[in-house]
Amino acid sequence: MLRLPPECPGARQYAQGVSMRTSRARRTCLAVPGSSQRFLAKAPQLAVDEVMLDLEDSVAPGQKAAARAAVAAALGSADWGSRVRAVRVNDVSTGWAYRDVIDVVEQAGQHLDTIVLPKVTGPGDVRWLDVLLSGVEQAMGFAAGAIGIEAQIEDAAGLAAAEQIAAASPRLEALIFGPADFMASVGMRSLEIGVPPAGYPGDAFHYPLLRILVAARSAGLQAIDGPYAAIADTAGLQRSAASAAALGFDGKWVVHPGQVEIVSAAFSPGQEEYDRAELIVAACEHYAAAGAGAALLDGEMIDEASRKLALVAAARGRAAGLHRTREFTPPAAAGRG
């Protein structure tokens, strides 16, 4: 549980975003095709924070019904440990979506944490799922609201409605960027999923990522980046994960076991960064108690704004189980040796 001073709005907003069901770690979210027995059997062995068993785009139309049964069976029979267990259903405009939800939740709802809803174009899509889930939960005797929702934003309409989508249901835990469908929706000139198009002098994903992040945080939700499909391009994956992590995202999808370590490292706070954050918090508190608004720490000016930034990084480090390895020593005391 995070402990942050209530007077710090930036840190409070982050803490809200990671409180209760949204405090689930989602640094690495593994996409698993629901029609593949081989991948379903392999998934519980991988060190990821979330498994997303897919009934949507990785499953051919003729295999949807079999995949529902395979996914429900895998949820109930495998040992998923502390991993978040999610199922991605088909989008609301299809004839598969309602049966995906009903079959999977009826058969394995007690083993399921969230439904990932793809191609969300407005708040109505999320409300539809919320109402349907309430009905199945009631019929099955599950706790009301037990199953969360992660909304995938992956087209122009969805991005334009990101704030309304983020506020559409108390079941929402995260907004997810879907680069492949988004690129197609807006006509971006790249054929590689998650790889920004060449020729644009900047990061073509900056706008959708930041828009999704702001919408998610404004509703206290997590923000998750989507897949990077070029499996052999580890340097590109590292760049993509590091850039989403630097922006403030909580995690990213992985589509292959070889991507797990890189993505996990990118979204885990480093010991040095965590130590520095705790040091800044302690120093700011020391100088504030002494009546100083700003002070120098290792040659850098720190003030209340630095403390707010540091509180966010410190909260992330504590949530990741890090312990500080350096203590702040006021200069006078340090001088006395």
Among candidates 227, 72, 101, which has minimal Cα distance to 171? 101
Give the whole-angstrom CA distance, residue 324 versus residue 273: 10
Site string for ligand GLV, 133-172 (x = CB under 6 A): ---------------------x------------------
**Residue 34 interacting entry, from ligand GLV, Mg ion, none, C-beta within 5 to 8 Å by type:** none
The answer to whether residues 279 and 328 touch, using CB atoms and an 8 Å cutoff, is yes
Considering only residues 34, 148, 158, 179, which one is a binding residue for ligand GLV as defined by CB under 6 A? 179
Binding residues among 27-66 for ligand GLV as defined by CB under 6 A: none
Is the CB of 53 or the CB of 193 nearer to ligand GLV? 193
**Residue 288 interacting entry, from ligand GLV, Mg ion, none, C-beta within 5 to 8 Å by type:** none
Is the CB of 148 or the CB of 194 nearer to Mg ion? 194
Provide, rounded to whole angstroms, the least separation between the CB of residue 122 and ligand GLV: 18
Q: Is residue 226 a contact residue for ligand GLV (CB under 6 A)?
A: yes
Q: Quick one: tokens of 303?
A: 């003030």
**Residue 51 interacting entry, from Mg ion, ligand GLV, none, C-beta within 5 to 8 Å by type:** none
Provide, rounded to whole angstroms, the least separation between the CB of residue 182 and ligand GLV: 7
Binding residues among 105-134 for ligand GLV as defined by CB under 6 A: 118
- The piece of 10-18, 179-187, 287-295, 325-333 that touches ligand GLV (CB under 6 A) is 179-187
Considering only residues 34, 196, 227, 317, which one is a binding residue for ligand GLV as defined by CB under 6 A? 227
Among candidates 180, 181, 198, 202, which has minimal Cα distance to 189? 198
- Give the length of the chain: 337
Environment class of 63 (CB within 10 Å of its CB; exposed 0-12, middle 13-18, buried 19+): middle
Q: Quick one: tokens of 176?
A: 């997810």
Q: Which residues of 159-193 are buried (b: 16+ CB within 10 A; e: fewer)?
A: bebbeebbbbbebbbbbbbbbbbbbebeeeebebb
Is the CB of 183 or the CB of 215 nearer to Mg ion? 183
- The piece of 71-79, 94-102, 177-185, 285-293 that touches ligand GLV (CB under 6 A) is 177-185
Q: Quick one: tokens of 175?
A: 């907004």
Q: Is residue 251 a contact residue for ligand GLV (CB under 6 A)?
A: no
Q: Quick one: tokens of 68?
A: 């529902």
The answer to whether residues 209 and 244 touch, using CB atoms and an 8 Å cutoff, is yes
What value, to the nearest 5°, has the Cα angle with vertex 179 and ends 31 and 172? 65
Is the CB of 17 or the CB of 178 nearer to Mg ion? 178
Q: Quick one: tokens of 127?
A: 């409300």
Provide, rounded to whole angstroms, the least separation between the CB of residue 35 and ligand GLV: 16
Site string for Mg ion, 123-162 (x = CB under 5 A): -------------------------------x--------
- The residues near 277 (Cβ < 8 Å, ≥ 6 apart) are 309, 310, 311, 312, 313, 314, 317
Binding region for Mg ion (CB under 5 A): 154, 178, 181
Please report, as ranges, the residues that interact with ligand GLV according to CB under 6 A: 118, 154, 178-181, 193, 226-227
